[in-house]
Amino acid sequence: MKFHIQTWGCQMNDHDGEKLSGLLSADGFEEVGTAEEAELVLLNTCSIREKAVHKVYSELGRLREEKQRRPLLVGVTGCLAQQEQAALFKRAPHIDFVLGTMALKQLPRLVAEAQAGKARVMDTGEYPDNHLFPPSVTRRRDTAKALVTITEGCNHACTYCIVPTTRGAERHRPYSDVLAEVRGLVARGYREVELLGQNVNSYAGGCTFADLLGRVSEVDGLEWIRFTTSHPMNFTKDLAKVLVANPKVAPFLHLPLQSGSDRVLKRMLREYTVAEYLERLGYLGEGRDRIALSTDFIVGFPGETEEDFEATMQVLDDVAFDGSFSFIYSPRPGTPSLRLKDDLPQGVKSARLTRLQRRQTELTRASNARFLGREIPVRVETHGPNEHGWWLARSGEWKTIHLQAGPGRVLPFGELVQARVTQAGPHFLGAELV
């Protein structure tokens, strides 16, 4: 049977997609590139914002029409599956099975039951060992950087966030398992790994996250370590020290702030004030200048005043983030923030988001300009140049690099090369091979 997996959302979902692909491939299924070629389509969903949910239901509508033309199994997994569960069948009766985020290993069973003609197959239970996924099964899509889950779930309770519901409480992989997986990946030729979790900073698989980074960095042949995502409350001095001092840990930190207003942060139940967030950035010390810093902002949270928003703009300027991901508040079913009065007109929210993003573009341009003339290591992320002669690469600071290698020059995919930065825009750096 031919299958296709369509994934929305974060890196955790991307990696779940790799795991699900591996499970089906191990059962003799063949992965194909489009839903039109497939006999089984699995939607690996996100529900963090309303827009992501709309995309899923739009695709389900398209698959309903496809299913009327030919035999087709349709499955839904990911956060929307865990959140909606049986309600998905009511809204989209043509769904054959629903698989929760904490039951991924049950995929072959659910597919077999659906193939046998059983209707509305569902498993959204919590299996204690779901996070202990056999690395050998994972079918990796990126051959330059490997995603490695170290923890799943979240013990925080932000009022706007559905993740504690869809991903459950924190479960941590033993550090010995993580190290074994990284060693195996390096043996297969990988030189970069990204450690994943809803909150990697709270890792407790037999050591702290700072300790884990140190242990992973000792794996011979590994060149770069990245990680995501971090909660400010669990960002420690020891972690900051490793980030600054360990040459294998990429000089990039994504630390979501969400708002520059203490009043809004309290309503969000983020557990820190702006001053405490800035204090944690201070842990980086003199190394702060070489660490690229990005963050998240939610604009238009219920009750956000103009003064609250101006406080966010002030922090944006004070910190001068290298980049940020910013969104209009999206009320999610089952979250405490639904009880708050969403009293801001959509036009006000949109105007605030536009203003914040324009300012961020200016800050990113200024940040990128600091790289002009510098020689930096970058990893080649394409197998050949584009029509303009540029190779796509990525710096340790997570900067997109358009790399000019020269006529006829072939760059090894996935390798680190030295590049001199010659251009700096808000979205990429232009560079030439040294």
Binding site as annotated, residues for [4Fe-4S] cluster? 10, 46, 79, 154, 158, 161
- Measured distance CA(279)–CA(271) in Å, rounded: 14
Contact 359, 315 (CB under 8 A): no
pTM exceeding 0.75: yes
Domains plus CATH for the chain?
Answer: 2-123 (3.40.50.12160), 135-369 (3.80.30.20), 375-433 (2.40.50.140)
What single letter denotes the amino acid at residue 334?
Answer: G
The one-letter code for the residue type at 311 is A
Using CA atoms, how far apart are residues 48 and 1, in angstroms rounded to an integer?
Answer: 32
How would you write 333-352 as a 3-class SS string? CCCHHHHCCCCCCHHHHHHH
- Round to whole Å and give the CA distance between 338 and 310: 24
Residue-level pLDDT at 127: 87
> What is the mean pLDDT for each group of 10 consecutive residues in the chain (434 residues)?
97 96 97 97 96 96 97 98 97 98 96 97 89 86 92 96 94 97 96 98 98 99 97 98 98 98 98 99 96 98 98 99 97 93 91 99 98 98 89 97 90 94 97 96
Q: 187: helix, coil or strand?
A: helix
Tens digit of pLDDT for each residue in 312-322? 999 999 999 99
Q: Which residues are annotated as a binding site?
A: 10, 46, 79, 154, 158, 161
Structural element, H or E, at residue 70: none
- What's the confidence (pLDDT) of residue 144? 85
Give the Cα separation of 365 and 79 in Å (integer).
35
